[in-house]
Amino acid sequence: MEASPTKSPLRLPAMANCIRITIFTLFVLPLVARAGESPLYETEIRPIFKAACFHCHGEEEEIEGNLDLRLRRSTVQGGDSGPAIVVDDPDSSLLLERIVSGEMPPGKSKLTPAEIELIRAWIRAGAKTAEPEDASASAFSLAERNFWSLQPIQNPAVPNVADSSRVRTPIDAFVLSRLETEKLNFAPDANRRTLIRRLSFDLIGLPPTPEEVKSFLADEKPDAYERLVDRLLESPHYGERWGRHWLDVAGYADSEGFNEADTERPSGFRYRDYVIRSFNADKPFDLFIQEQLAGDEMVTGPLKNLSPESVEKLTATGFLRMAPDGTAAGGAMVNLARNQVVSETLKIVSTSLLGLTVGCAECHHHRYDPILQTDYYSLRAIFEPALNWKKWRVPAARKISLYTDEDRTLAAKIEAEAKVIDAERAALAKVFIDQTLDSQLLKLEGAVREPLKIAYKTAGSERTDEQKALLDKYPKILKISDGSLYLYDREIRTDAAKIKAEHKTKEKEFVEQAFTAALADLSKEEQAAVRSAHATAAAKRTVEQKTLLEAHADKLVTAATLEKFNAASAEELKQLKQSEKDLLATLKADRLKAIQEKATKIRETKPHEGFLRALTEVAGQVPETFLFNRGDFEQPKQKLVPAGLSVLDSQELVSIPENNPELPTTGRRLAFAKRLTDARHPLTARVLVNRFWLNHFRRGIVETPGDFGYLGARPSHPELLDWLANEFMSNGWKLKQLHKLMVTSTTYRQSSKRSPEQDEIDPDNHLYGHMSIQRIDAETLRDTVLAISGKLNRKLYGEPVSVTKDSIGRIIIGKDNLDGERKPLAAIDMKGEQFRRSIYIQVRRSRPLGVLATFDMPVMEPNCTSRNSSTVTPQALMLMNSEFSSEYAGVFAQRVYELTKDDPQKQCQHAWELAFGEEATAKQIENSVAYINQQKQHYEKFPQPKSKQTPDQLALKSFCQALISSNAFLYVD
């Protein structure tokens, strides 16, 4: 179905559309002329010039045509072509002429008619500025310096509201006062079942059990809800849930990405565990940030015999090691790869903590925000002592061992023991080589033996050409080595097998000869009878045969009795046996292997050596940082010193030293971390509380959590944002308290039911007049399926659960097990690890787990500041047809079956409660039972030949699969 190709109005909003948006345009529309007032340079004109013109006319070292548009006065003054504008006379203004003709700006993006009209109006009205231009005005305009997110955080008073009955916390007062201006109110409180499900998913990422629901419903104490909140916040699963949110912005991954190999990061998981532990311990967030940015600078002394505290601080710096890092591959692109690590790391830091797209200033001044290109490189300078692209350390070179001196001593002792065995093996190998050489030489004609032996024994580099030629002629001699002995063993085995065969033939022959001799006295008939009886298996002999054999017992010859009849033959056989044994005793490779295994076993007793993935500086290395022209590291320009954003200079934040003499490190990152967590910093706390809010309320107060800049959204509730930021900081940056404040609010406890009144003016619920429904995210979906199936392995922390590809390339949980042609072999037992929570599943960038990727688990390139939620057919197909869905529906059904046995009503009720957290109504039970019966009849009519399950079980399974496929399961109210 193709929409008809009509030109869509991309630039100018249709008038009809403008009416509805009046409430919101204030915080989303970046560029509007104020009606009735003449445009001002700083607020209206400069943003246009900045985006379209400054690059050539002001910001670069060389200013095109000597025209600098960064100041009103330099604009009037003009450049090589004369004044750019004639005040009051747009029609005589060269600047406007060039713009209107399309000559400027060059390239394909032109100014819009609205922008051009604004410039015209500005010139006509006298080209006014908001305030007199001072010298510093060229860097940042007043409007830029006054941008909302760069202002100090205010301490707004909690507003009064008309309907105070709904106000449980100050949050509610802020939200309600805004609602009341639209004549709206909160939705009613949600019921308890909804609340416990909402809270459980929100705080621990898992559904409440039916028992937990029951006990909450039965709790009649007035603080039942508060105690539920406390219980969930104390659950160790809280850290998994909220740690996951942080890992998104940190760009957590268990592989290096960058190139096809996508090498694994074996120690990356310790950072993940650090994050989970920090959340569980309610570590103050300022400390949490400081540790992640500068944990290494907080550790004193050399990086060995690390105390648990030091390990924790160093592990925290894994935050700065999360960017894709392809530098180990080397090659021609290595400098690009190194610089990319630096720039991606800066992206992670700035979008997660500053909430600004600082990365845009890598090549030129930020087009929209007051971030200079020099700011970018000053920021980069903070990290360069640790991420020094000129003296780069690849991931393997940055590993920090967790060995203590004791471990090391013990390991050395064990190594020494193993070395003894190694030496034993080496000596024996030497003997074996000599033996092999001799035995091989014996197979050659006499004349070449000695010269060959000498040639072989001569070191490769010292052999004469003749010797080399000789050895080349006899590769069987040349190739004798420790590693090839097993090949010569094959020869021995062949010889031994020959002897064995000879032994067998001879034995048969000797026995027959002796038997014939022993029977010689008997008649032909008797001989035949004895032979026949003797040849018959003992169990099958007749009574007559047995009697006959007993009578001639002294004449019966077998291999065992041969010696009595013919000692010489028996001796010959014995000799043969012995020579086979002797020959096999000369097998060499297996003996060497056995010794080697002994050494390996000894080595295995060494204490396990873990490593940290951390960021550190190299003492004494203080690299100089240069601005890169257009972001190209091959075009370094002026040197820059470390600093924070210059637009905040007036705010007296912690400044950043070039090299702090009191620390073994430069102290740059530590100072930067202190600066960010300085209560006066306008961004950090705002950015953080906005994120927390987003995860509770499913929408940020600023809807672009990674961008608090000009192109980002404006806060819907700016006072609330500041109030929360203050509250957070004044309570010691403690998160659990803030959680409690948020989730105990009326705003949070509302029903998700929409009201027509609010839908009329605020259909997207910017005003929080009800709770927004939300689809559970990828990890929660998988974890919940595991939980309700009774399979969830609740083990905390540790190495990631590996992922692999199945025979058709799907990414599943498992270990790589490939044959020589890289085709998958049988699955390796995962020992229950396959049931771990999703946060512990290996994040291999090139191998996103199928079920998680389908439900929008983000790709870390390099991080994710806010998740998408898609509703697409592959999700439906996955729930309908995938192995995951089918397998766990089966386990879920089995669990339900075991608990309720053959009572269909009970089965439905129980499964319903597990999946939805709700009690099924009589009608729902009736429908469900009817469905199960239908399916049962179907399976009775069409038996499933390969299934071990009864029609009852299959029907129940399909019911359980329907539940986990349905919206009531997938969405939270």
**Residues 280-299 contacting other proteins, CB under 8 A:** none
Q: Is 483 exposed, middle or buried (0-12, 13-18, 19+ CB in 10 A)?
A: exposed
**Residues 376-415 contacting other proteins, CB under 8 A:** none
684 makes contact with other proteins (CB under 8 A): no
The percent of the chain in helix, strand and coil, each rounded to the nearest 5, is 55, 5, 40
Using the rule CB under 8 A, give the single segment among 120-128, 175-183, 510-518, 866-874 that binds other proteins. 866-874
**Residues 41-80 contacting other proteins, CB under 8 A:** 47-48, 51-52
29 makes contact with other proteins (CB under 8 A): yes
- Rank residues 289 and 889 by Cβ distance to other proteins and give the closer one: 889
> Which residue type occupies 448?
V
Largest separation between any pair of C-alpha atoms in the chain = 146
What's the closest the beta carbon of residue 375 comes to other proteins, in angstroms? 16
What's the closest the beta carbon of residue 368 comes to other proteins, in angstroms? 9
Using the rule CB under 8 A, give the single segment among 133-141, 224-232, 282-290, 868-876 that binds other proteins. 868-876
What's the closest the beta carbon of residue 18 comes to other proteins, in angstroms? 8
Single out the residue of 2, 62, 462, 554 in contact with other proteins (rule: CB under 8 A).
2
- Taking residue 269's Cβ as centre, other Cβ atoms within 10 Å add up to 20
861 makes contact with other proteins (CB under 8 A): yes
Single out the residue of 346, 360, 648, 721 in contact with other proteins (rule: CB under 8 A).
360
Q: Cα–Cα distance between 956 and 912 in angstroms, integer?
A: 12
Q: Which residue has the tokens 């009574």?
A: 543
- 456 with 471: CB under 8 angstroms? yes
| Contacts within 8 Å (CB) and 24+ apart, 481-488 | 481/433, 482/429, 482/433, 482/592, 485/429, 485/432, 485/433, 485/436, 485/588, 485/589, 485/592, 486/588, 486/589, 488/436, 488/440, 488/588
Measured CA to CA in angstroms, residue 405 lies from 243, 303, 396, 596, 607 at distances of: 33, 11, 21, 27, 11
Q: Which residue has the tokens 């297996």?
A: 590
Using the rule CB under 8 A, give the single segment among 34-42, 608-616, 771-779, 780-788 that binds other proteins. 771-779
DSSP labels, 515-534: HHHHHTTS-HHHHHHHHHHH
6 makes contact with other proteins (CB under 8 A): yes
- 276 with 239: CB under 8 angstroms? yes
**Residues 640-669 contacting other proteins, CB under 8 A:** none
758 makes contact with other proteins (CB under 8 A): no
What's the closest the beta carbon of residue 185 comes to other proteins, in angstroms? 18
15 makes contact with other proteins (CB under 8 A): no
28 makes contact with other proteins (CB under 8 A): yes
Q: Which residue has the tokens 């310790």?
A: 270
- 248 with 805: CB under 8 angstroms? no
Q: Cα–Cα distance between 181 and 163 in angstroms, integer?
A: 12
Q: Indicate the helix (H) or strand (E) that contains 628.
A: strand 625-628
753 makes contact with other proteins (CB under 8 A): yes
Site string for other proteins, 913-952 (x = CB under 8 A): -----------x--x---x--xx--xx--x-x-xx-----
- Taking residue 589's Cβ as centre, other Cβ atoms within 10 Å add up to 18
- Rank residues 120 and 754 by Cβ distance to other proteins and give the closer one: 754
- Rank residues 183 and 822 by Cβ distance to other proteins and give the closer one: 822
Helix (H), strand (E) counts: the chain: 41, 8
**Residues 204-263 contacting other proteins, CB under 8 A:** 257-260
What's the closest the beta carbon of residue 958 comes to other proteins, in angstroms? 5
What's the closest the beta carbon of residue 371 comes to other proteins, in angstroms? 12
**Residues 335-354 contacting other proteins, CB under 8 A:** 340, 347, 351
Using the rule CB under 8 A, give the single segment among 175-183, 440-448, 611-619, 699-707 that binds other proteins. 699-707
Single out the residue of 431, 585, 880, 899 in contact with other proteins (rule: CB under 8 A).
880
The helix/strand/coil state of 409 is helix
856 makes contact with other proteins (CB under 8 A): yes
**Residues 120-179 contacting other proteins, CB under 8 A:** none
Q: Is 653 left (phi over 0), alpha (psi -120 to 50) or beta?
A: beta
756 makes contact with other proteins (CB under 8 A): yes
Q: Cα–Cα distance between 325 and 339 in angstroms, integer?
A: 10
Q: What is the DSSP letter of 33?
A: P
What's the closest the beta carbon of residue 673 comes to other proteins, in angstroms? 22
Give the bridge partners for 612, in sequence order.
400
Using the rule CB under 8 A, give the single segment among 390-398, 552-560, 638-646, 749-757 that binds other proteins. 749-757
Q: Cα–Cα distance between 77 and 93 in angstroms, integer?
A: 12
What's the closest the beta carbon of residue 858 comes to other proteins, in angstroms? 8
What's the closest the beta carbon of residue 953 comes to other proteins, in angstroms? 10
- 198 with 190: CB under 8 angstroms? yes
| Count of residues that bind other proteins according to CB under 8 A | 117
Measured CA to CA in angstroms, residue 301 lies from 291, 304, 617, 664, 794 at distances of: 16, 8, 13, 8, 37
Q: Cα–Cα distance between 408 and 406 in angstroms, integer?
A: 5
Q: Cα–Cα distance between 502 and 575 in angstroms, integer?
A: 12
**Residues 575-604 contacting other proteins, CB under 8 A:** none
842 makes contact with other proteins (CB under 8 A): no
What's the closest the beta carbon of residue 784 comes to other proteins, in angstroms? 17
Please work out, in degrees rounded to the nearest 5, the angle formed at the alpha carbon of residue 775 by the alpha carbons of 769 and 781: 145
Single out the residue of 431, 659, 869, 899 in contact with other proteins (rule: CB under 8 A).
869
**Residues 491-550 contacting other proteins, CB under 8 A:** none
Single out the residue of 74, 357, 373, 842 in contact with other proteins (rule: CB under 8 A).
357
Phi/psi for 547 (5° steps) reads: -60, -45
What's the closest the beta carbon of residue 776 comes to other proteins, in angstroms? 12
**Residues 92-111 contacting other proteins, CB under 8 A:** 107-109, 111
Give the bridge partners for 774, in sequence order.
972
- Rank residues 507 and 973 by Cβ distance to other proteins and give the closer one: 973
431 makes contact with other proteins (CB under 8 A): no
965 makes contact with other proteins (CB under 8 A): yes
What's the closest the beta carbon of residue 587 comes to other proteins, in angstroms? 42
Alpha helix segments (H runs only) across 474-566:
475-478, 485-519, 524-535, 543-551, 562-565
Using the rule CB under 8 A, give the single segment among 57-65, 196-204, 655-663, 757-765 that binds other proteins. 757-765
Single out the residue of 870, 899, 903, 940 in contact with other proteins (rule: CB under 8 A).
870
Using the rule CB under 8 A, give the single segment among 395-403, 419-427, 489-497, 773-781 that binds other proteins. 773-781
Single out the residue of 44, 59, 68, 115 in contact with other proteins (rule: CB under 8 A).
115
